[in-house]
Structure 1
Amino acid sequence: MLIGYARTSTLEQEAGLEAQIRDLTALGCEKLFREQVSSVAPRKVLDGALEFARAGDTLVVTKLDRLARSVTHLGNIIAALEAKGVALRIVNLGVDTATPTGKLMLNVLGGVAQFEREMMLERQREGIAKAKGEGAYKGRKPTARAKTAQIEALSAEGLSMAAIAVRLGIGKGSVHRALNPKAA
């Protein structure tokens, strides 16, 4: 049986999810698992797809980044699939682990994907550092500090830190720092 898995990171990516579902259906996937969750969040639907798969089945994804967040994560998924006798097919790469060549290609491509992600993050950090150096990147404005007078007034009325935080829409730690500036 072909089992399809589709994922997007956010609810705003509905079109991307629908495109994956359309492609998986066209490939003949009899069972589809879909979720909209960040790559770093727990993926209960993916876990359900792995649990559902039986010996002789093939798990199909349209792209590698829809499945795994890192080479280690990919390795864990492949190990779980292999232990059950389930193959993995990644459509856009033309990889199918039902073949020895497919297994080799998947490991190589997983390493390249992780390398590219690490390079992208490094470039992002360098860009932020450059922007900070030029004074163009200052981070977000300290919203809680601007509310210090309100925090002190509500505290004087006898409200708890938690109640102040809820009323002003800020964190309890921010209330604590505003009321105890020497401790911060």
Structure 2
Amino acid sequence: MKRLTVVVACLSLFWLIPGKTGIMANMTRVIYHQGDKERSVLLANTNKYPVIVQSWVDHGEADPQAKTPFVVLASIFHLPAQKIQAIRIVYNGDHLPDDRESVFWLNLYEIPPNLHQQALNQDNAKISLAMNTQLKLFYRPKELADFPVKLADKITFTLQQKDQEWVLICKNSSPFHISFSQIVFDS
């Protein structure tokens, strides 16, 4: 019952966020633990129109033909306006390093309906755009079960001058991938 309550709470959050977000996932990143059979991601169509969604995993190049050890099911589907659909990510078993995380990108390519005919029937011009949203997908080996509390101790920053520019070099000696939302320089 507790899991059902959490799922219902997460689903209700989809419609609380204002703006024109289009396809929205219930998470900002996917962590695929070694040994998992699959990972599910819920997608909500916040548009007022249906879309076709194509989903795949790549190395960040937004290429549906990229070779990775992950398959997304359903890879292409119709998502009606204001509806939710789950996709599943399945690992095919190809070898990945077991001493560090591997990072991939989950692509959610949203194709809107053809609005061309509607624009011709009206006196105002419209443009229809396809959108690609990318989420990081981390494959985490069993040896890295828990994210370390003192991860900041494994990160070092160095400021170096190259030609006429200053460059900030970040070295991460941990086996985890790290994303920064903000870096502030304090003088």
TM-score bin, normalised by smaller chain: under 0.3
Bigger share in helix = 1
Return the TM-score normalized by structure 1: 0.24
Q: Which has the higher contact order (CA 8 A, sep 6+)?
A: 2
Name the TM-score, length of structure 2 as normaliser. 0.24
More strand by share: 2
